[in-house]
Structure 1
């Protein structure tokens, strides 16, 4: 049951600059609420960012705050944010 509740607070983040890693992603989204987990997906062969990641918030307020933000810009890139499945 806990994993279901946690998945309801997880967001997909697309459009990440290749310079953004897990720490930068966590730091950016922590302004919206407590971040339990944040990670950027990297290509296994090249080690380069694939341009997307996921953020899990510790509570619904942070999750909703991030989703309700009109526009997310990180290092000059406009991010695409949506609830993760």
Structure 2
């Protein structure tokens, strides 16, 4: 069963492909999406990654939460259902 992960404090200049590549080291990435401002189409600095299994998601969370990505310390946590709606 796929598991969604919230990724915060992302560098503004990365795209979905870079996010996919970063997380694919920990398992199969079903999807990765940087959230963009509707008016400017610029990154809002956060996104969501969906991993194929809860085990892969947990591995990514443990290894990436608090890590430095392009000079920024990123937040990687299980996505809460309230964030997904």
Segments of structure 2 that go 5 or more residues without pairing to the other structure are 81-85
CA RMSD in angstroms comes to 1.3
TM-score, normalised via structure 1 length = 0.85
TM-score, normalised via structure 2 length = 0.85
Take 1:30 and 1:72, find their aligned partners in 2: how far apart are those partners?
Answer: 16
SS in 2 for 1:10: strand
Report what 1:75 is aligned to.
Answer: 70
- Paired residue total: 79
Runs of 4+ displaced beyond 3 Å? none
Segments of structure 1 that go 5 or more residues without pairing to the other structure are none
